[in-house]
Amino acid sequence: MNKIVLALLLIIQFGSLAFAQQPAAPKTTAPASRTLTPAEQRQKEKVDREVQRERQIRAEWAQKQREYEAKQAEKERQKQARKAEKERQQQEKEAGKSKSEPTSTPVTPAPTPVAEPATPAPAPAEPSRKEKREKRRKETPAPAVETPAANPAPVPTSPEPAPVEAPKKVEKVQRPKRERKPVVQTVDSASAMAPVSDPTVARPRREFLPKGHLFEPILLDPLEAQTYGSVLPLYYTEGNKYKGSIVPFAFGFAKPFFRRTTEPGRSTEWVLDLASFTQFEAFHDDKLNKARRQIMNNDYKISIIYNVRRGANNYRFRVYHISSHLGDDYIYRNQITAPTPNSVNYEQLDVTYSRNVTNWRLYGGAGIVLRKTEERKLLSAQLGAFYKKPSDKAARLVGGADIKFWQQTDFRPGIHAGVGVEVGRTQNNLTFLLEGYSGFRPYSQYENQQTEWLGVGLYLNPF
């Protein structure tokens, strides 16, 4: 035992001496961490933020992908459930039909050729419902079919079964017929004038921005809101011929914005109309020795109209404002340096009645100015007639005359007449007229001047 302990001590002593004689490994010290500059620090933080943002985006995308897959799986599950429910209902329906179908071969006491088993054949395609109904109707036997007891032949293999009565044909329950509701007639439009035989069937109708007019614009009225252009080579003022041509041009429209119809031939509507009346002059300037074209005058008009139709009778209640302005070229050419009196700047209320008699439209009305008498005299009147030849062709003959009276011009009539052709089959037809005028000047502040003209014009109402 002592020897073993001594040997262990010697081994330990020699091992320690050998370890001590080995050269010591040089100590390596970690290099001191370098301090980052502010720019490097900001760059590092930016990189960290980008990495963090990228991780967040990936996490959100993965979450959305999982939610999408879950939704798709739920939709597929619901689709399969609906399909299975539909198949189950179809099977139950077919099973109910097969139970209700009668036996094709009735059982009889004696074997007959019909009772012989048929040779198995390949299964045909599934017939449609209509074919099944036709087949059942043909295969249903007549009621009270009895087999005569002349040759009773009992079947040895089975007892005599009781005769099965043929099923009675089930009568279809007739559905109650629906009473047809009376057809509600769509009343009025602008063209409905004749009353119907049963006005109680019709119901009130409201229209926003309807087509047509209950009171058609007066084509030959020089101050009607419509679009037209004329060329007047013959133009006289106070008996003197103008050296040149006058070209009146207007851009305007009258548009209904609300119409109410209680029954055919009884309607009311509200209308807005706007117009700008401009007169150009084309002449030869002797001083400059060249042709010139310039604006003489411009009148502006705005109206609110309430139209009423009662059968063939049409009424127009109108309030409008009009103002007249001389053109700059005209003022400069005539050296107007001081303000001039202008009575064409007023408001007026007027009422006009219209009725169609055969192919003629007759109208007349009166108005009152809504200004003081010192500014403008109050009364005015208008009457006229317009003819339109009925025709299925694209062009038809038209013509007529319009006469206006103003207290401001001592009730001298202003007569505007024309004859021409209307082209088109819509409510917005073009009208070509050979026209003439005689009376007070219908435009500008110089309305007291006696004016006559003759020329051609093209007229259009955009609405």
The DSSP secondary structure of 296-356, one letter per residue, reads EEEEEEEEEEEEEEETTEEEEEEEEEEEEEE-HHHHHHTT--S------EEEEEEEEEEEE
With vertex at residue 206, the alpha carbon angle to CA 204 and CA 211, rounded to the nearest 5 degrees, is 120
- Tokens 């419509």, located at residue: 226
Across-strand partners of 208? Answer: 258
Mean pLDDT for the chain? 81
Rounded to 10 degrees, what is the CA torsion of 83, 85, 89, 90?
20
**Which residue type does 213 have?**
H
Cβ atoms of residues 102 and 170 within 8 Å: no
Q: Tokens at residue 416, please?
A: 């505007």
Query: In sequence order, what are the residues at sequence separation of 6 or more whose Cβ sits closer than 8 angstroms to the Cβ of residue 276?
Result: 250, 251, 252, 298, 299, 300, 301
Q: What is the pTM of this model?
A: 0.58
pLDDT computed for residue 97 by the predictor: 77
Size (the chain), residues? 463
With vertex at residue 132, the alpha carbon angle to CA 130 and CA 137, rounded to the nearest 5 degrees, is 100
* pLDDT per residue rounded down to tens, the chain (463 residues): 667 767 777 777 766 665 555 555 444 554 556 788 888 888 889 999 999 999 999 999 999 999 999 999 999 999 999 999 989 988 888 888 777 655 444 444 444 444 444 444 444 555 667 677 777 776 655 444 444 444 444 444 444 445 545 545 555 556 656 666 554 444 445 654 444 333 344 567 899 999 999 999 999 999 999 999 999 999 999 999 988 889 999 999 999 999 999 999 999 999 999 999 999 998 888 888 888 888 999 999 999 999 999 999 999 999 999 999 999 888 988 888 888 889 999 999 999 999 999 999 999 999 999 999 999 999 999 999 999 999 888 999 999 999 999 999 999 999 999 999 999 988 889 999 999 999 999 999 999 999 999 999 999 988 7
pLDDT computed for residue 289 by the predictor: 85
- Tokens 């390596």, located at residue: 28
Which percentage of the chain shows pLDDT scores above 70?
A: 73
H-run or E-run covering 40? helix 38-100
